[in-house]
Amino acid sequence: MPRKSSPRLTQDALDFRRRLLRWFRAHGRDLPWRRTRDPYHIAVSEFMLQQTQVSRVEGFYGRFLERFPSVHHLAAAPASAVREAWEGLGYYRRAHNLQRLAQEVAGREDGFPQEPAALRQLPGVGPYTAGAIACFAFERSAPAVDTNVERVIRRAFHPRLGRRAADARRVWATAEALVPRAGTPAWSFNQAIMELGALVCTARVAKCGECPVRGVCRTGRRASIAARGGSARMDGCPRLKPRLG
């Protein structure tokens, strides 16, 4: 299904995307789930990464796939074996939903759906996970807004946006507009904006002095003004680091 037309991007938005992709090529982490386009492997990583730090998931991801190397292996496994393999990650409902997803996909002649709307019909798959699997496995031009991405978009484009449902929809609309139309750049962009939120534009501190997009970010610009001795209201950021060191 073709993606709906998005509003034309401003020059700042285009520069944001260009700078972000350039930074990611130089600084993106080599994570095991970034080396595959297997939708099952991507689904395993996304379920594990829900409310769990990357460093912890890295230790479980490979072992889990060794034990359940395909969606069919996971679908046929005893529930107790799946729970045992998940031991230590917590939030065991994720393991239950992942196995239910595997059972449903294993029963389909065409395997994993490739579009976000169809992926959302699978057990345990919400808007973010659907976009992530569609993009990271099938290189669909789909937004994938997790907490890191939402924080980056709010700070960069909507620093005074509230928390109403309409505000959340606006964040998603901005994310959709930013994602490149071509598959491989879309994959890179979604990985890059997540990486920025995880490493630089974090919840605890916005490291504006280290940020590759600070020149086209509304919060970053305010941080630069503050660093030069001016006054600027810092909306949406609990703490800022305008300078390195």
Alpha-helical runs (H) found in the chain: 11-27, 39-49, 54-67, 71-76, 79-86, 93-106, 116-119, 127-138, 147-157, 165-178, 183-199, 218-227
Q: How many CB atoms lie within 10 A of CB 163?
A: 7
* Active site (catalytic) residues: 46
Q: How many CB atoms lie within 10 A of CB 142?
A: 24
Nearest to 136 by CA among 121, 117, 116: 116
Nearest to 48 by CA among 149, 124, 142, 127: 124
